[in-house]
Structure 1
């Protein structure tokens, strides 16, 4: 397809592609049912990035000019442009991949029918004990009736906090119910802590890489993010000391157990060093322990909170990964003076979490059902982790690298030198497979290419199918790179 691209003009490149394809459709040069060139082919022909062409196709599809099908390609729609005629607002560029809002964009792309999505770290829906939990709902309704639909305590249902206090003993965290705050999942817990402790312009330290949702949340609040490198034992103490000295942060956010996205767990010695540094600098720590109960190779390391003698650690966990995300229930634990501030923010946010689901979860915990549920999902997720590792060994290039996590939902894959994940991501989407590009988990552009692969929601045969596609694409990229790696080419065109 011959299009005229004006690279020095002010019109965005992707819109130039959109407008010229629209004109070809209007003129009849591209009649209904015509197949458009694949993204990679058109990008190569026009000398554009695949992301630019992908954004153009996404805009055309959103306005009804074309229809795209996973594994089949893109075609001119039967009634092109109908949606565009109905749309009142001007054309706006889609959310750029790997920019603020990328999490929603990745999830949107990954929800296409027949997509094998390793992008979202989600629990397996077939493990949700809907019928059993429904019986708990019926039981508490029969026992407590309409009182569960009245206003409740902002800090959380008393019965649930008593059960949560017992539940946390399995993670070696000993806290009275009065030290716990029930929240609407870990995301609300993060939001409450940030709103209580930091203001716009303040600095927060995070691990590099870290949870994407935390990056986006802090960017929305206008906070300064500083990433501290990690190694196989967790956050590096020397780098942490330097970051504290240079940036005077108000908070450190860490995922010390089955870290998202790398799967690394912080060693006991490293935990002690971290707590000593925090103590000397009076630095509060927000510990995210949502994957702690999901250990597959023996007991998980105790969390930082189990070693916290100074009340510096704010402990956060939830039931979204280990149980059912739709419950939107989690817990924050903090020392009393700070807890009061967190409760005040929660009260302003949503008054309290729903009493019915809180009381039903308390009943589920009290009857011992959750212990049995954990045994079941640990076995299932261990099998799926092992299936993904076996598939990676079979299909991925030998110079790709990964570490087998002892728990959690994710494998963190280092790409072969010179390969980056954005172009690979777009090719994989076209082939019906999604993953989370590694750049998304860094506040700044990383020096190497990575991808995060989440295994929990997929059966072994589906994992094998998806990893085979990704391995094929990686090997194709390596072959293309090798074709353009002669010494003369390297001297003529620097690889950046």
Structure 2
């Protein structure tokens, strides 16, 4: 390859620079022109290349010099250990459900639905309209946009039994997603160091929020049919807890849904103990064989505080949730949310209310139910065929996940690594237990990308299980 004049100068000067001390001045442009018998433009091009490589530096009006070699000194943050002290509450490690993965794997670990399950056209149009509206440059009321408050209240009011007072828009507080809402609820309704009853297994994000707030978790055994009322009543009596966090509809991770009788019984226990039921209605829009029936619709006395997020069903970019609470509890919740975030973006609220009030939103939900049904059944059938060593206690009637029981001697870390080596990413069930796991489980998301690969994924999991030792 023929070397250009500027490249020839760069090569020669790099040899000169290697032998020169740091800070040495290079020959002037005039001398370099004479030495290499080239034009000043060519010399300047070579010098710019060396400057770009970081080996020389130009000092205007003075000349060009060899850069000093700078060895990066490791930063010493040891002083912060004494300043911070030991953490009072060490939060759990971030969930595997948040891992990002390349496109060439079969991802069964995520906690979010695939993009094709989202109302993308509605979301894009709503963002465009919000950008042209006052919402793009205005500050909303602290509790949220009135029209979005009204929508959340109306959604719950539509299933409130006759004879009970339906929620009002003023009972709603708009939050920047359910995760921040859980932190607020645990802080205001439970308090630092106080006990919180929680289903076991349960949503890992709730456990993370509890750890950050400093709440003491008290596990209540639960499964596809929900918790035992006797266990719940006993835990309230023994601990003096004043709140119970639960997911009565399509629980994460078990997929369980409480019967109406169990819902009434639990509500009665909560009332008897003068406590709160913190109801996480995260999967409200993901019903398959049943609809979500929030317990909050059965209570108008302020014992149930219900939070419903739109992040998973509308878009991960629309981190908006609605929380319904009544009485002084609502005032405390609002005060805490103002202290933490002041308010939720007007633009995001405008996008949310735009999407969910479009006639096409209901059409999307009907299509979503069909797609989730197909994906769930495809994965269930594949697992039954290829993973006979695993057991599915119940096929969920809604939600996004399957909760798969494995043999007790399964080495979960080895299993997950073996599957990942074959291109299948799975989520071990241990992180969904607030105390020691009571068995070996996998939580598999059937709403992820490429459902046609589910049979291959089930075959790989089955093979890994047979060689788990």
TM over 0.5: yes
Answer yes or no: is the 8 Å Cα contact 1:123–1:323 preserved in 2. no
1:213-263 alpha-carbon deviations (Å, 9 max, x no partner): 111221222221111012442111111111112211131100000011001
Distance 2:451 2:103 in 1: 19
248, 255, 258: which one aligns with 1:263: 255
Query: Offset of 1:171 from its aligned partner?
Result: 5.1
Answer yes or no: is the 8 Å Cα contact 1:402–1:411 preserved in 2. no
Distance 1:366 1:105, change over 3 A: closer
Answer yes or no: is the 8 Å Cα contact 2:310–2:321 preserved in 1. yes
Match in the other structure for 2:219? 227
Query: Offset of 1:266 from its aligned partner?
Result: 0.6
Structure 1: 5+ residue stretches without partners: 1-84, 92-98, 481-496
Distance 1:428 1:150 in 2: 49
Q: How do 1:22-171 residues align onto structure 2 when only pairs under 5 Å count?
A: 88=75, 100-104=91-95, 107-108=98-99, 111-112=101-102, 114-142=104-132, 144-145=133-134, 148-169=136-157
Match in the other structure for 2:236? 244
Q: How do 1:370-381 residues align onto structure 2 when only pairs under 5 Å count?
A: 370-381=361-372
Q: How do 1:348-367 residues align onto structure 2 when only pairs under 5 Å count?
A: 348-367=339-358
Match in the other structure for 1:316? 307
Query: Offset of 1:445 from its aligned partner?
Result: 1.5
1:439-485 alpha-carbon deviations (Å, 9 max, x no partner): 111122223111110110233212222222111101222xx4xxxxx
Structure 2: 5+ residue stretches without partners: 1-71, 79-89
The alignment covers a number of residue pairs equal to 384
* TM-score w.r.t. length of structure 2: 0.77
SS of the aligned residue for 2:222 comes to: strand
Indicate yes or no: 2:205 matched with 1:217.
no
Answer yes or no: is the 8 Å Cα contact 1:397–1:475 preserved in 2. no
Query: Offset of 1:89 from its aligned partner?
Result: 6.7
1:188-237 alpha-carbon deviations (Å, 9 max, x no partner): 11111112122221100100100011112212222211110124421111
Answer yes or no: is the 8 Å Cα contact 1:106–1:436 preserved in 2. yes
Answer yes or no: is the 8 Å Cα contact 2:404–2:441 preserved in 1. yes
Q: How do 1:403-482 residues align onto structure 2 when only pairs under 5 Å count?
A: 403-477=394-468, 480=469
SS of the aligned residue for 1:287 comes to: strand
CA RMSD of aligned residues (A): 2.4
Query: Offset of 1:90 from its aligned partner?
Result: 9.6
Answer yes or no: is the 8 Å Cα contact 1:413–1:450 preserved in 2. yes
Answer yes or no: is the 8 Å Cα contact 1:400–1:414 preserved in 2. yes
Distance 1:87 1:380, change over 3 A: farther
SS of the aligned residue for 1:120 comes to: coil
1:302-339 alpha-carbon deviations (Å, 9 max, x no partner): 21111114210000111122221210011000003211
Answer yes or no: is the 8 Å Cα contact 1:420–1:448 preserved in 2. no
SS of the aligned residue for 2:467 comes to: helix
Structure with the greater alpha carbon radius of gyration:
2
Distance 2:438 2:354 in 1: 49
Distance 2:328 2:212 in 1: 27
